[in-house]
Structure 1
Amino acid sequence: MSLDPFDRKIIAALQDDARMTVADIAERVSLSATPVSRRLKKLEEEGVIAGYAPLLDAKKLGFPLDAYLTINLQAHSDDIIDRFENAIQANPYVIACHAVTGEMDYLLHVTARDMEHLSQITLKTLVRIPGVRDVKSIVVLESIKKSRAVPIE
């Protein structure tokens, strides 16, 4: 889908505040509410806007520890990959999982209450998934930049 300047301004406005009303977006992008509403519907139907969700503060919800874990599998058979990915989907503490290139097979973003909790997640859950060969962890000391916004060029 090709985006014109108005579509880009609408998306930028929503990335700033997804709770913005159609009227507020219209004022910000210099269109009336009706075309903004039509454009929003089209962006949603095309999947450019995949949904709306609140940005939660994990620390205030009791999960101040962020960690990234790299995982290697013993083999790349369909059975091992399916078992691993199903286990990851079911784990609420894994907030993102990416199949990656390089030395490791997967990169996980994990949230935890503290180091002991991270240890439990790692040693009692992740390393016990059949087919996992090794797990390495990187604990986040401080987040310098954290954004879910996509560049709108």
Structure 2
Amino acid sequence: MKMKLKYLVIHCTATPEGREVTKADIEQWHLVGRGWSRVGYSDLIQLDGALVNLQEFNQDDLVDPWEVTNGAKGYNSKARHVVYAGGCENKAGLPAKDTRTKAQLKALETYVKFMVLRHPEIKVIGHNQIAAKACPSFHVPSWLNHIGINSKNIGL
């Protein structure tokens, strides 16, 4: 069943600052490690700002069953999930830290603004706003205000 796209959820990979993450890494973690049928994110923003598609999707206002990713329980059928490589200070996964590079900041800003332009009713949220997690390791509403996102598109 198709659901209306309501959310863009921002995530981090919870990997150490400076560690690159690939599509193959995420597939290994989610499909093999967790046994999921699909990865948890639609797109990945690498350290250099490159955008890597992880799960095909179209740009309409509906989430088709083939587009669903496993990013946040209870939200997957009505959300897109974007993840940036990083989010932790060290390899033990602690503490949470905003490790976004300048290139990632620019790419994520462009991504969010495109999604809001394409889907004017979408709400942009951090994973930590809907789950007891530090991910994405920064306060999404403050950052969205900082980059000029309309308040109607911020939060729940």
Question: TM bucket by the smaller chain?
Answer: under 0.3
- TM-score between both structures, scaled by the size of structure 1: 0.25
Larger Rg: 1
| More relative contact order, 1 or 2 (CA 8 Å, 6+ apart) | 2
Is the helix fraction higher in 1 or 2? 1
